[in-house]
Amino acid sequence: MNYRHIYHAGNFADVLKHAVLARLVRYLQNKDKAFRVLDTHAGIGLYDLSSEEAQKTGEWLDGIGRLLEAELVPQVADLLEPYLTAVRELNPEGGIRLYPGSPKLARMLFRPQDRLSAMELHPEDFQRLHRLFEGDHHARITELDGWLALGAHLPPKEKRGIVLVDPPFEEDGEYERLADGLAKAWRRFPGGTYCLWYPLKKDAPIKAFHEALQALEIPKMLCAELTVKSDRGFTGLTGSGLIIVNPPFTLKDELHALLPALKDMLAQDRFASQRAFWLRGEH
């Protein structure tokens, strides 16, 4: 309950998460049929990077700040286009002051038939999220523990959707909870596309986490990881990962183009690395 994303908004982890989320939204829009994005840990939806909190850490400077100033080769520019266009639309005077969280980004990319369900448990953050989407009939904002949404809000009535699970990882056992949450959700909505975010840091139980996911025997799980610096002598966040369940068939190739470019742009030392691989399924 103490986690506030404003300190981290727009950082390198957000760049990876939001670039991939935008690709998933665009892919589902290849069909006319409506879909729903379910965001289980939604935050406040829109972040002011000029605020005292964001300025205190300045993490966005090594994330979206670098990306907006980078020269992109055409293929990478195309892959990042929906994400970066949304960011620029929020900052029409240039530079960057406002940054979209996941629910705002998804909503900005929607067609008229697409819908958002966003969950937030922190009372103050819920109120801000609710105000942001007030009067928007495409969005349903609920004050709820996001883990409960994986049971109560699935499957969506559209029977198509993206489920984004981006917990704060404040407590012990969150990796196990993420695997258990996916198991529960997938039983209810096996056709959904899931995007699970997790942190990479010193001594994080990544191998055990991946093995727990593989044990679920979900047919198709793709993993994308981006590390921006060495964890030697550093206990904080050094990278982040995404597990994508039922990924678009194009996503693996897109990640092979996108991840090396992001690594080069966002690296904080020579130990930066990236990888995309199948946890289960196509190899």
Residue 52 in tokens: 């005292």
Alpha-carbon distances, residue 257 vs 70, 78, 152 (angstroms): 16, 11, 37
166 in active site: yes
| C-alpha–C-alpha distance, residues 150 and 70, integer Å | 37
Q: Residues at the annotated binding site for S-adenosyl-L-methionine?
A: 18, 41, 102, 120, 145-146, 166
Q: Residues at the annotated binding site?
A: 18, 41, 102, 120, 145-146, 166
| C-alpha–C-alpha distance, residues 258 and 241, integer Å | 14
Cβ atoms of 240 and 210 within 8 Å: the answer is no
Cβ atoms of 261 and 73 within 8 Å: the answer is yes
Angle ∠(37,40,43) on CA atoms, nearest 5: 105
CB atoms within 10 A of CB 25: 23
User: In terms of DSSP H, where are the helices of the chain?
Assistant: 12-28, 52-57, 64-69, 74-89, 102-109, 123-132, 146-152, 174-188, 206-215, 251-266
| C-alpha–C-alpha distance, residues 117 and 103, integer Å | 8
- What does the buried/exposed string (b/e) look like for 235-264 if buried means 16 or more CB atoms within 10 Å of the residue's CB? eebbbbbbbbbbbbeebbebbeebbebbbe
Q: Which entry of 62, 78, 166, 253 is annotated as an active-site residue?
A: 166
Q: Tell me which residue of 54, 60, 49, 135 sits closest to 90, measured CA to CA.
A: 49
| C-alpha–C-alpha distance, residues 260 and 254, integer Å | 11
Active site residues: 166
